[in-house]
Amino acid sequence: MRSIKLFSDKVLLYLVSILLLGIVVLEVKEKFFDKKISYVDISQLVENYKLKKDLEGLATNNLYAIKNVIDSLSAIKKVNPADSGQLSHQIENAQQAFQQYYSQSNQEITKKIWERLNPIINDFGKEKGYQIIIGATGTGALLYADKSHDVTEELTKYVNDKYEKAK
């Protein structure tokens, strides 16, 4: 009877040891070998970001207003050629204002987009348990990655949801 008890204790000890070893192996594997690495197509993310579309819409409206001024001045110049010198100068100034506003608005839009995207991408990575999210730009920084690591659509939905909630 005592040998059966000793045998069952040994079996139980072996089973517990195997179970603990399995748990340790899984933890080590998860911690060191199952790194969650993904990538995002930056141009696709930015292009589909609703904030970008909204900011571009506002800038486009302002550009159309400047363009309307240029067109009006050009029409007046055609109808009244006597004042063409002063009108030409005003048209030139309006065209410069158009170009300047276009450049400035593009810079501001890009700055605002990245000011909003960076913290949201950080939150996304933490929530999803990613150790690394690589930005693929198409310039060769990421030469190859299996599509299963592409989280562009998921991240685009995430950032747009956050943007809609913040409106």
Packing angle of the helix pair 50-79, 84-128 (nearest 10 deg): 180
Q: pLDDT tens string for the chain (167 positions)?
A: 666 666 666 666 666 677 776 676 666 555 555 568 898 999 999 999 999 999 999 999 999 999 998 898 888 888 877 777 888 888 899 899 999 999 999 999 999 999 999 999 999 999 998 888 988 876 767 778 888 889 999 999 999 999 999 87
What size, in residues, is the chain?
167
CB 49 within 8 A of CB 163: yes
* CATH node for 34-166: 3.30.910
Token pair, residue 124, equals 């996304």
Domain ranges of the chain: 34-166
Please state whether the predicted TM-score (pTM) of the whole model is above 0.75. Answer: no
Q: If you ran DSSP here, which 8-state letter would residue 40 be given?
A: E
Q: What is the pLDDT of residue 46?
A: 94
Say how far apart CA 51 and CA 59 lie, in whole Å: 12
pLDDT of residue 14: 66
CA distance 54 to 28: 46
3-state secondary structure of 111: helix
Which residue has tokens 């299996």?
A: 146
